[in-house]
Structure 1
């Protein structure tokens, strides 16, 4: 299993987590609350953890070749919801 992680500094982590989960709930199986969320996409799972000054993103799946594209999809959606902020989403492959 391949896993990518990103830690995004923001004071609005909980809001963005909930927006992302609600957005994808019409298409995928989703569970979330104010501090954590999980989106079970086709072939991958994306988890979110909200802290007071940070949103942590975790994306894992079996198809290592498809994950970088999904990282881009998650980052693009987050940036759309956070259009008032200039968020830096830098994914790194986890060991």
Structure 2
């Protein structure tokens, strides 16, 4: 498993009733290009410059991005947001990141 020293973090809570579906689809699709770590209810995508942990509850998909610097964190945020918004276009999901 690749380990990233992370210093910057952000999170996004995306309202959706299909959080489990989007978590699985992100892991399946991005898993072709990065390592995917399953730990209980959390799926973590180990991207080239950082990581993003995905969890969900009945009404929300929770995203927690991390990266060693501003550029890496921004890249992780963009990769996750672009893919999620494309997959869930019929729901009109929007990802708004907040610094942790």
- Misfit runs of 4+, over 3 Å: 32-35
- What's the TM-score, normalizing by structure 1? 0.90
Mapped contact 1:45–1:60 kept (Cα < 8 A): yes
Which runs of no fewer than 5 residues in structure 1 stay unpaired?
A: none
Specify which of 10, 15, 21 is matched with residue 15 of structure 1: 21
User: SS at 2:29's partner residue?
Assistant: helix
Against the structure 1 CA distance between its residues 14 and 35, is the aligned structure 2 distance closer, same or farther, given a 3 Å change threshold? farther
Q: Deviations over 1:19-51 (max 9, x none)?
A: 000001111110237942111111201100011
Aligned length: 94
Structure ranking higher in helix proportion: 2
Question: Over aligned residue pairs, what C-alpha RMSD do you find?
Answer: 1.6
- What's the TM-score, normalizing by structure 2? 0.85
